Amino acid sequence: MSSTSNPTATLHNPKYVECIEACNHCANACEYCATLCSREEDVKMLLKCIELCEYCADVCRISSKYMSKDSHYAQAICETCAKVCDACAKECESHTNMDHCQQCAQACRQCAEECRKMSR
């Protein structure tokens, strides 16, 4: 993907572009998932999912911010982000009857993969 076709690439260090985009997408998916889960009738059954989605959204936003700043802490934060994304994906995948949870799990898996690339 060239920087001319991708506006994010002109704003951030090119080595981080795909991971920043994955983190931002995952954060949005997690916030959406947590919101919809909190509106479900049996919300108590979804408390772990809501909590993990909130944690995941937070760490994704922090990871994106540190990569945007080209911080020397970005690699370590990406390692943590990948772990939280994996945990969130696992929880969301367990809610097979909820499309928003499945979409969130997919975003989390993609983000975890991109973050692991950054932590190498």
For 13-70, how does the pLDDT look when each residue is reduced to its tens digit (9 = 90+)?
778 999 999 999 999 999 999 999 999 999 999 999 999 999 999 999 999 999 999 9
pLDDT of residue 15: 82
Q: For residue 88, give both structure tokens.
A: 């969130």
Q: How far is it, in rounded angstroms, from Cα 60 to Cα 30?
A: 10
pLDDT of residue 5: 45
Query: pTM for this one?
Result: 0.88
CATH architecture of the domain formed by 14-118: Up-down Bundle (1.20)
Boundaries of every domain in the chain: 14-118
pLDDT category, 98, cuts 50, 70, 90?
A: very high
CA-to-CA separations, 80 to 49, 67, 94, in angstroms, rounded:
18, 14, 22
Q: For residue 63, give both structure tokens.
A: 């990871």
